A and B are shown apart, each in its own frame.
Chain A
Amino acid sequence: MSYSAEISRQNPSCFLFLIDQSGSMEDEIASGSESSTLANGVADSINSWLQELSIKCAKSEGVRDYYEVGVLGYGSAVGPGFVGPLAGREMIPISEIADNPARLDERTKKVPDGTGGIIEQPVRIPVWFEPVADGGTPMCRAASEAKRILQDWIARHPDAFPPTVIHITDGESTDGNPTDRLKELTELETSDGNVMLFNIHLSVKDSANTLTFLDSDDALPDLYSRMLFDTASHLTPTMRMLAKEHGFNTGEDSRCFVMNGDLVLLVQAIDIGTRPSNSQMDANDDGSPDDDDEHDGDIHPEAMQRDDWSGDSKNLR
Chain B
Amino acid sequence: MLVSSRGFHAPKRGNVESEYEDAYFPERNYRHANLAEFRCAVADGASESAFSREWARLLVRRYHYKQISLKLLQRCWQRKVTREPVPWYLEEKIRRGAHATLMGLSLHDPDPASGAGGTWTATAVGDSCLFHVRDDQLLAVAPLTHSAQFNNHPHLVSTDGSRGFGLQPSHIKEASGHWQTNDIFYLLTDALAEWALSAQEAGRPPWSQFRRLGRFGRTQQAGQRAFNKLVNKLRLFGGLHNDDTTLLRIEVA
Contact = CB atoms under 8 A, between A and B. Distances in A.
Interface of A: 8-10, 51, 54-56, 58-63, 98-99, 101, 104, 111-114, 121, 123-124, 126, 281-295, 297-301, 304-307, 309-316
Interface of B: 14, 18-19, 44, 46-54, 68-71, 74, 81, 87-93, 95-96, 99, 102, 106, 120-123, 125, 130, 132, 138-143, 145, 152-154, 156-158, 161-170, 172-178, 197, 200-201, 243
Given A104-B88, A309-B173, A311-B122, A297 B166 contact: no
Contact of A124 (B54, B88, B200): B88
A112 B163 contact: yes
A126 B141 contact: no
B173 A58 contact: no
A156 to B, nearest CB: 19
A285 B51 CA distance: 15
Given A311-B140, A311-B142, A286 B156 contact: yes
Given A310-B177, A311-B122, A316-B197, A298 B49 contact: no
A63 B54 CA distance: 18
Contacts of B165: 295, 297
Given A286-B48, A307-B174, A309-B145, 6 more contacts: A55-B92, A286-B99, A292-B163, A301-B123, A314-B145, A316-B138
A283 B243 contact: yes
A299 B51 contact: no
Nearest to B97: A286
A59 to B, nearest CB: 5
B64 to A, nearest CB: 13
8 contacts: A58-B89, A58-B93, A111-B162, A293-B168, A295-B70, A307-B173, A311-B132, A314-B175
A301 B122 CA distance: 8
Contacts of A301: 106, 121, 123, 172, 174
Given A301-B174, A311-B122, A314-B141, A59 B50 contact: yes
Contacts of B123: 299, 301, 304
A295 B91 contact: no
A10 B14 CA distance: 8
A54 B174 CA distance: 38
Contacts of B14: 8-10
Closest 8 CB pairs of A and B: A294-B164, A311-B177, A311-B175, A112-B162, A295-B164, A311-B140, A297-B71, A286-B46
A121 B88 CA distance: 13
B48 A285 contact: yes
Contacts of B158: 286, 289
A287 B48 CA distance: 9
Contacts of B163: 112, 288-289, 292, 294
A120 to B, nearest CB: 13
Contacts of A281: 47-48
Nearest to B161: A114
Contacts of A126: 88
Contacts of A307: 143, 170, 173-174
Of the candidates A104, A282, A315, the one having the most CB atoms from chain B within 10 angstroms of its own CB is A315
A291 B164 CA distance: 10
A108 to B, nearest CB: 13
